[in-house]
Amino acid sequence: MAALPWDRSPGLREQLADFYRDLHEHPELSLQEFRTAERVAAAIGPLGFEVTTGVGGTGVVGVLRNGEGPVVLLRADFDALPVEEKTGLPYASSVRAQDHSGVEVPVMHACGHDMHAACLVGAATLLANSTEEWAGTVVAVFQPAEELACGARNMVADGLFERFPRPDIVLAQHVGPLPAGMIGYRGGPVMSGMDAVQVTLHGRGGHGSRPEAAIDTVLMAANVVTRLQGIVAREVPPADTAVVTVGRLQAGTKDNIIPDTAELGITIRTYDEKVRDLVRAAIERIARAEAAASGAEREPEFDWNLSAPILVNDPAATDTTVAAFTEHFGVQRLLPMPQVNASEDAGVFGASAGVPSVYWFWGGIDFANLDLSEVVEGGGIDKVPANHSPEFAPEIEPTLSTGVEAMVVAARTWLGRTT
């Protein structure tokens, strides 16, 4: 593979850094990424991409045709999270917005999606400036609403593979708390499947001084939370992996009022469809049983409102891509990864198109600027600010250049060659 044409794009690194800082300072929640989509479309349009906006809501698709050859889909997400930023950076977000339920929340790019978008813009630029060295079609997909696990499905439902060239392979990446410049990889199952359910428990409200006249949903909810912890410990086979987390428990408005409802927000992570079905069924069984044990006169309600499939890397395609990474970056910058219990909807694209997917991680943390003694004494790597933390923000370099180059190297591995 020829050297990457950074020299044909003078000042590109600085432009991408400015682009990244702009996105970071102006984050937008899932399904609200209007300004971000405009910035992305304006960045890749002049490069020769055929740009379509509003795909699946706020998604952007850019198509660069360069003769006969394979079609390679490059994907980046660009939505932010309801997190209040605490990085102290000069370009930190102070944005507040209304979420999908109408509640005002702080907004931050706490998962690195701004870096993903900037890197794909950079990769698109380098590919557009080296068309004499490859043949085929690049489809750059900037996906909304990854954090709601619906953005990829929305784009597919909006005709992604009918309106635009159907890919032969899907390539995607994610920045995380690895050392900046490192690339993490894994073949086979990479990230867990995710399901989220909102459970509403029904009881009978009353005065806090007369619990005998009420059916206490707070106690009911507490028992459900405790009992749920037995699913993984006592129902999932030890050789399998699952996580059940109650991230939200809301009930009541005042300390002397027994509320008539309680709500639980539960997320599960699994790597196997049978285990997934087992855990889902167990959650509903436990909630119903605790409601019955409490004398509830109405069964719980279950809203399974979010779902992301297991993200699986095609083993052969991963081996080919990692070999190209090794040749370009050197073996010392490649890191085998364990399975990750977080979830992603990037796998929807490859699964829906029936083509291989390759998904990798790359590092954004400058460990040289961290007090490693504090990291070790304070609890190890888990104390390093990571994705979804209010203190997470990748070092711009070498993170940005590494992400751009990884995407270009991967794309060029699968595109046709002219030289």
Given a cut of 70, whether residue 383 has pLDDT beyond it is no
User: Is residue 377 very low, low, confident or very high in pLDDT (cuts 50, 70, 90)?
Assistant: very low
How much is the CA Rg of the chain, to the nearest whole Å?
A: 23
* Same structural domain, 204 and 336: no
Q: What percent of the chain has pLDDT over 70?
A: 96
Mean pLDDT of 136-157: 97
Give CA–CA dist 253/419, Å, rounded. Answer: 69
Tens digits of per-residue pLDDT, 66-92? 999 999 999 999 999 999 999 999 999
pLDDT at 34 > cutoff 60: yes
147 is in an annotated binding site: yes
Q: For residue 1, is it within any domain? A: no
Between CA 309 and CA 331 the distance in angstroms is: 31
pLDDT of residue 368: 73
Q: Is 411 exposed, middle or buried (0-12, 13-18, 19+ CB in 10 A)?
A: buried
DSSP tally for the chain: helices H, then strands E = 11, 19
**What pLDDT does 220 receive?**
98
What's the confidence (pLDDT) of residue 164? 98
174 is in an annotated binding site: yes
Question: Is residue 44 domain-shared with residue 33, that is, in the same domain?
Answer: yes
Domain membership flag for residue 359 = yes
Task: Give the ranges where 236-380 is alpha helix by DSSP (H).
Answer: 273-293, 315-329, 347-353, 372-377
Q: Please tell me the distance from the alpha carbon of residue 238 to that of residue 190, in angstroms, as a whole number.
A: 19
The confidence band for 373, taking pLDDT boundaries of 50, 70 and 90, is: very low
Is the same domain home to 238 and 159?
A: no
Q: What is the pLDDT of residue 101?
A: 86
16 and 154 within one domain: yes
Among 282, 307, 332, where does a domain finish? 307
Residues 215 and 317 in one domain: no
Q: Is the pLDDT of residue 378 over 70?
A: no
261 and 374 co-located in one domain: no
Residue 376 banded pLDDT, cuts 50, 70, 90 = very low
Is 202 annotated to bind a ligand? Reply is no
CA-CA distance, 103 to 116, in Å (whole number)? 27
Where in 144-260 does DSSP place strands (E)? 169-179, 183-185, 188-191, 193-202, 206-207, 242-251, 257-258
Q: Does residue 187 sit in the same domain as residue 204?
A: no
Q: For residue 69, give the CATH number of its domain.
A: 3.40.630.10
The reply to whether 225 and 290 lie within a common domain is yes
Boundary residue ending a domain (307, 330, 350)? 307
Instruction: Report which of 364, 370, 363, 371 is spatially closest to residue 396, judged by C-alpha positions.
Output: 364
| Residue of 183, 199, 98, 112 lying closest to 147 (CA atoms) | 112
Which of the two residues, 370 and 157, has the higher pLDDT score? 157
Residue with tokens 């927000």: 265
pLDDT of 44 strictly over 90: yes
Percent of the residues in the chain that have a pLDDT greater than 90, as a whole number: 90
Look at residue 293 and give its three-state secondary structure: helix
How do residues 234-262 score in pLDDT, each as one tens digit? 999 999 999 999 999 999 999 999 999 99
What confidence tier does 374 reach under pLDDT thresholds 50, 70, 90?
A: very low
Both 178 and 208 in a single domain? no
Q: Binding residue per annotation — 33?
A: no
What domain count does the chain have? 2
Find the angle CA(225)-CA(149)-CA(180) to the nearest 5 degrees.
100
How many whole angstroms from its chain centre is CA 262?
A: 29
Query: Is residue 227 situated within a structural domain?
Result: yes
| Residues 54 and 170 reside in one and the same domain | yes
CATH code at position 243: 3.30.70.360
Q: Which domain, by its residues, includes 393?
A: 6-192+310-417
Which letter, b or e, does each residue of 6-27 get, where b requires 16 or more Cβ atoms within 10 Å of its Cβ?
beebeebbebbbebbbebbbbb
Give the model confidence (pLDDT) of 163-215 as tens digits: 999 999 999 999 999 999 999 999 999 999 999 999 999 999 999 999 999 99
User: Is 381's pLDDT higher than 80?
Assistant: no
Strands 50-55 and 59-66: antiparallel
**pLDDT of res. 156:** 98
347 and 335 within one domain: yes
2 burial (CB, 10 Å; 0-12 / 13-18 / 19+) is: exposed
**pLDDT band at 5; cut points 50, 70, 90:** confident
Which residues are within 8 A (CB) of 189 and not within 5 positions of it... i.e. 6 or more apart? 271, 310, 311, 312, 313, 339
Closest CA to 28 of 52, 58, 61: 58
How does pLDDT run across 257-316, given as a tens digit for each residue?
999 999 999 999 999 999 999 999 999 999 999 999 999 999 999 999 989 999 999 999
Question: 163 and 263: one domain?
Answer: no
